[in-house]
């Protein structure tokens, strides 16, 4: 048998290794931003084309690199951050693996222009798919300009599996937020397809949060601050009034590095227990400072997971700090945290006065008040109206009585129905979801009718919501919405004519919240699911027979589909014959 084990060519090994670091354009953004921060830049510009597929450019005014360092930076395992094994356990910088630039260069066409303080001229390096094309001296300002073109051009299978530009740009925004929130002293500019998305000035943490998340946060941020001998905690949490149905405004940082932790998330959620509705999540921006030797940031390729030496103590500190802040500030959200809570904080700026009581001295409790006069014609109209209502209600009652349904409401909110010697146990909340879903889907597939609003509805939007709405504006139009979007307001001029009884603002908010990576593949499905999820009647609204009978009629027309749009059972059945057998 011949030998079958061989060494991979360098370019193949580099492309495979790149898969761990460079998963999508957002991965490149993360690595280049972290390099710029490590280079002590205080001004960073990001320029993107087609959500990073065709162009990613990061310009910084950091320390720059020498001629030798510029070339070495693209070699695998080349890093300025660590020199020994011990250094791994005392990481003070963002990047340290020595793989990022080599991995990026292996799957793209890269250019680096860089200059440090010492050299008179800078260096330009061109790399194509991991191969050095050229290196020479140029005139360039201090700092670095990284340009990445045609990501995954030489790995078409990887490029093929990238999502739409809208989805990829949302991932880029996620990485941008994580860096920008941790470094409020750095100014950032972000351009996408020649449009300025963000221009952030150097500021404080509270202002940076407001600049990124929107002005709605301005009056609802509560400060937290605790110091111990081995860890310090600072940041802001959201007042209970702005709890959301998604986790998009939850950020942990340790030594200015973003990380995820389900365990520590639970510490925050526990502090909000019974203060916010179920299935809602608080906003928080929590910054931890700790000796790097007490944490391990090297347990995950993307460095988004952290191992704490005293994790249970961190949990307790976060939980108590959040509880304390809620206890102090929850009645009065204020942004100026240097002032003590006073009456002025609660909007009471004038002097306190006793209430003035006015008494009508001419009031006679024994005087008979005359009833307002009603004309004969008005009496006739009122009589006819009551008669018509009574006639309609009588007909409905008769109709319900004639239906061949034997319905019983069970204590768990399900309805039991007996029909044709079969027992149905029905969840009418899910059934209503199914009915709404099919109705919305059918309408969106046909000629959609719009209902022009007499008064346009204005829905305030901020931060990432602006981009999200712009990205689906044409899709919204295709299903009956006519919207106009600027940087702070979405003005709705028309809505789908058959939209259920749910406020326009609520449906837009929920649609933005529900946006996921796959919605663009079939927007009509996404819209129909969103309406079904949030407009369907809840179980406590379906406790009367009169509320479920109309749903049965619609459900029958659909031939009783077993599953809801979300893959859950609408009902389960058991025949009387099978029930009798179980009783033997």
Judged by DSSP in three states, 223 sits in strand
How far is 460 from 300, CA to CA, in rounded Å?
A: 38
pLDDT at 391 (0 to 100): 45
Q: Are 56 and 31 in contact (CB under 8 A)?
A: no
Q: Are 258 and 178 in contact (CB under 8 A)?
A: yes
pLDDT at 516 (0 to 100): 61
Per-residue confidence of the chain (584 residues) as pLDDT tens digits? Answer: 566 665 656 655 565 555 557 889 999 999 999 999 999 999 999 999 999 999 999 999 999 999 998 988 888 765 555 444 454 445 555 554 456 888 899 999 999 999 999 999 999 999 999 899 999 999 999 999 999 999 999 989 889 889 888 889 989 999 999 999 999 999 999 999 998 889 999 999 999 999 898 877 888 899 999 999 999 999 999 998 888 877 889 999 999 999 999 999 999 999 998 888 887 899 999 999 999 888 887 655 566 778 888 899 999 999 999 999 998 875 434 444 444 443 333 333 444 455 555 555 555 554 544 444 444 444 344 344 434 444 433 433 443 344 556 888 998 889 998 877 888 899 999 999 999 999 888 877 766 788 888 888 888 887 677 877 888 888 888 888 899 988 778 899 988 887 877 778 788 877 877 776 556 667 888 888 888 888 889 888 998 888 898 898 899 889 889 999 989 999 998 888 888 888 87
Q: Which residues of 255-269 are buried (b: 16+ CB within 10 A; e: fewer)?
A: bbbbbebeebbebbb
How far is 217 from 206, CA to CA, in rounded Å?
A: 9
CATH class of 10-202: alpha beta
Judged by DSSP in three states, 170 sits in helix
Q: In what order do the strands lie in the sheet with 143-149?
A: 131-138, 122-128, 109-115, 143-149, 55-60, 43-49, 187-192, 195-200
Q: Which helix (H) or strand (E) holds 530?
A: helix 523-535
Q: Are 71 and 135 in contact (CB under 8 A)?
A: yes
Instruction: State which fold the 211-339 domain adopts.
Output: Ribosomal Protein S5; domain 2 (3.30.230)
pLDDT at 510 (0 to 100): 79
Report the candidate in 165, 175, 216 with the shortest Cα–Cα distance to residue 198: 175
Q: Determine phi and psi for 413, rounding to 5 degrees.
A: 90, -10
CA distances from 15 to 83, 102, 161 (A): 25, 9, 16
Q: Are 479 and 523 in contact (CB under 8 A)?
A: yes
Report the candidate in 190, 322, 311 with the shortest Cα–Cα distance to residue 262: 311
pLDDT at 229 (0 to 100): 92
Q: What is the DSSP string of 286-331?
A: EEEEE-GGGEE--SSTTS-B-EETTHHHHHHHHHHHHHHHHHHHTT
- Please state which architecture CATH assigns to domain 406-557: 2-Layer Sandwich (3.30)
Q: Are 164 and 25 in contact (CB under 8 A)?
A: no
Residues contacting residue 381 through CB under 8 Å, at least 6 positions apart: none
pLDDT at 399 (0 to 100): 37
Q: Determine phi and psi for 418, rounding to 5 degrees.
A: -105, 125
Q: Which sequence spans correspond to the domains of the chain?
A: 10-202, 211-339, 406-557
pLDDT at 502 (0 to 100): 74
pLDDT at 13 (0 to 100): 59
């Amino acid at each position: 048998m011949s030998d079958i084990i061989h060494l991979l060519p360098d370019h193949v090994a580099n492309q495979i290794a790149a898969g761990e670091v460079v998963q999508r354009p957002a991965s490149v953004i993360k690595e280049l931003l972290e390099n710029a921060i490590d280079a002590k830049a205080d001004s960073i510009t990001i320029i993107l084309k087609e959500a990073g597929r065709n162009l990613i450019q990061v310009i910084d005014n950091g320390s720059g690199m020498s001629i030798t360092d510029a070339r070495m930076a693209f070699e695998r395992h080349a890093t300025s951050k660590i020199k020994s094994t011990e250094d791994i356990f005392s990481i003070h910088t963002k990047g340290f693996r020595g793989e990022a630039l080599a991995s990026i260069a292996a799957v793209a066409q890269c250019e680096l222009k860089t200059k440090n303080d010492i050299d008179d001229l800078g260096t330009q390096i061109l790399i194509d798919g991991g191969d050095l094309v050229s290196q020479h001296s140029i005139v360039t300002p201090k700092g670095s300009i990284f340009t990445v073109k045609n990501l995954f051009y030489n790995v078409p299978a990887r490029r093929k599996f990238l999502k739409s530009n809208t989805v990829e740009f949302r991932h880029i925004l996620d990485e941008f937020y994580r860096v920008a929130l941790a470094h409020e002293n750095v100014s950032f500019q972000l351009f996408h397809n020649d449009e300025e998305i963000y221009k952030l000035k150097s500021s404080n943490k509270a202002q940076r949060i407001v600049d990124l998340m929107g002005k709605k946060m301005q009056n609802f941020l509560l400060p937290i601050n605790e110091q111990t001998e081995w860890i310090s905690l600072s940041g802001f949490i959201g007042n209970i009034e702005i709890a959301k149905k998604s986790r998009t405004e939850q950020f942990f940082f340790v030594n200015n590095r973003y990380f995820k932790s389900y365990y520590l998330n639970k510490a925050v959620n526990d502090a909000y227990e019974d203060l916010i509705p179920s299935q809602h999540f608080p906003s928080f921006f929590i910054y931890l400072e700790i000796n790097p030797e007490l944490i391990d940031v090297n347990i995950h390729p993307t460095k988004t997971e952290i191992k704490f030496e005293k994790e249970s103590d961190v949990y307790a500190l976060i939980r108590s700090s959040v509880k304390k802040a809620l206890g102090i500030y929850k009645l009065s959200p204020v942004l100026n945290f240097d002032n003590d809570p006073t009456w002025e904080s609660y909007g009471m700026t004038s002097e306190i006065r006793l209430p003035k009581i006015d008494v009508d001295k001419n009031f006679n409790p024994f005087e008979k008040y005359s009833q307002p006069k009603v004309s004969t014609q008005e009496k006739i109209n009122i009589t006819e109206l009551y008669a018509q209502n009574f006639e309609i209600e009588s007909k409905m009652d008769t109709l319900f009585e004639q239906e061949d349904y034997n319905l019983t409401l069970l204590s768990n909110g399900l309805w039991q129905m007996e029909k044709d010697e079969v027992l149905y146990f029905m969840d009418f909340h899910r059934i209503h979801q199914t009915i709404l879903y099919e109705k919305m889907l059918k309408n969106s597939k046909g000629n959609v009718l719009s209902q022009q609003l007499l008064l346009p509805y204005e829905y305030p939007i901020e931060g990432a919501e602006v981009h999200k709405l712009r990205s689906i504006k044409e899709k919204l139009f295709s299903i009956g919405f006519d919207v106009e979007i600027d940087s702070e307001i979405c003005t709705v001029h028309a809505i789908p004519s058959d939209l259920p009884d749910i406020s326009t603002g609520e449906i837009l908010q929920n649609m933005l919240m529900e946006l996921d990576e796959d919605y663009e593949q079939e927007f009509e499905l996404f819209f129909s699911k969103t309406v079904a999820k949030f407009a369907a009647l809840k179980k406590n609204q379906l406790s009367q027979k009169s509320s479920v009978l109309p749903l049965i009629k619609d459900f029958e027309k659909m031939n009783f589909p077993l599953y809801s749009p979300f893959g859950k059972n609408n009902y389960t059945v058991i025949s009387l014959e099978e029930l009798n057998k179980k009783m033997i």
